[in-house]
Structure 1
Amino acid sequence: MTIHTYTDLPLIDRAAFELACARHGFAPIHFDVRGETDPDDPEHGELLVVRRGAWAQAYRIDARGQWLRQFEVDLNGRFFRQAPYL
């Protein structure tokens, strides 16, 4: 599956992403979400790259939704709060 925006995520992942954003005072539109092939391991699927401002984080997409837990950890750690406004 090719992911161009967060709306291309599977429905369950999209809903979980929206809820995680809301819990931390964000909306999905605050983030640029794109799927990219892992340049170091192209045979094992895509990475989901989430950007906000100058900050970006890559998550490995898997069937268990591990990337969502990692995204929420980054939100809890205020990783994306530090993004400068352009």
Structure 2
Amino acid sequence: MQTTLLRYTDLPITDRAAFELVCARHGFAPAHFDVSVHADPADPAQGRLVTVRRGGWAQSYYDRQGQWVRQFEADLTCRFFR
């Protein structure tokens, strides 16, 4: 399986805008996080794996139609990245 590694700036504009809004709502800026996206171009149905890191903490989310942002916000609400 060959995957493509993407960064935050490579995400669709809708994902970036949603991520920025969630960050702002919780007192963060997108620069506080390292976001990487692994996608398998041979199997687009598999979706993407989005990994968000901050300091020593990391969480990965399987993305299907932007759901990773909602899961990320739930982690921020629970103070996972604090």
In the superposition, the TM-score normalised over structure 1's length comes to 0.78
Using the TM superposition, give the Cα deviation of residue 37 of structure 1 relative to its aligned residue in structure 2, in angstroms. Answer: 5.1
Unaligned ranges ≥5, structure 2: none
Using the TM superposition, give the Cα deviation of residue 3 of structure 1 relative to its aligned residue in structure 2, in angstroms. Answer: 5.1
Structure number with the higher strand fraction is: 2
The AA in structure 2 aligned to 1:70 is Q
1:29 corresponds to: 31
Unaligned ranges ≥5, structure 1: 82-86
Runs of 4+ in 1 over 6 A off after TM superposition: none
Q: Percent identity?
A: 64
- 1:28 and 1:66 map into 2 onto residues whose CA distance is 17
Count of paired positions: 76
Question: Would the alpha carbon gap of residues 11 and 37 (structure 1) be closer, same or farther in structure 2, given more than 3 Å must change?
Answer: closer
Higher RCO (Cα < 8 Å, 6 or more apart): 2
State whether structure 2 residue 60 is matched by structure 1 residue 58: yes
1:84 corresponds to: none
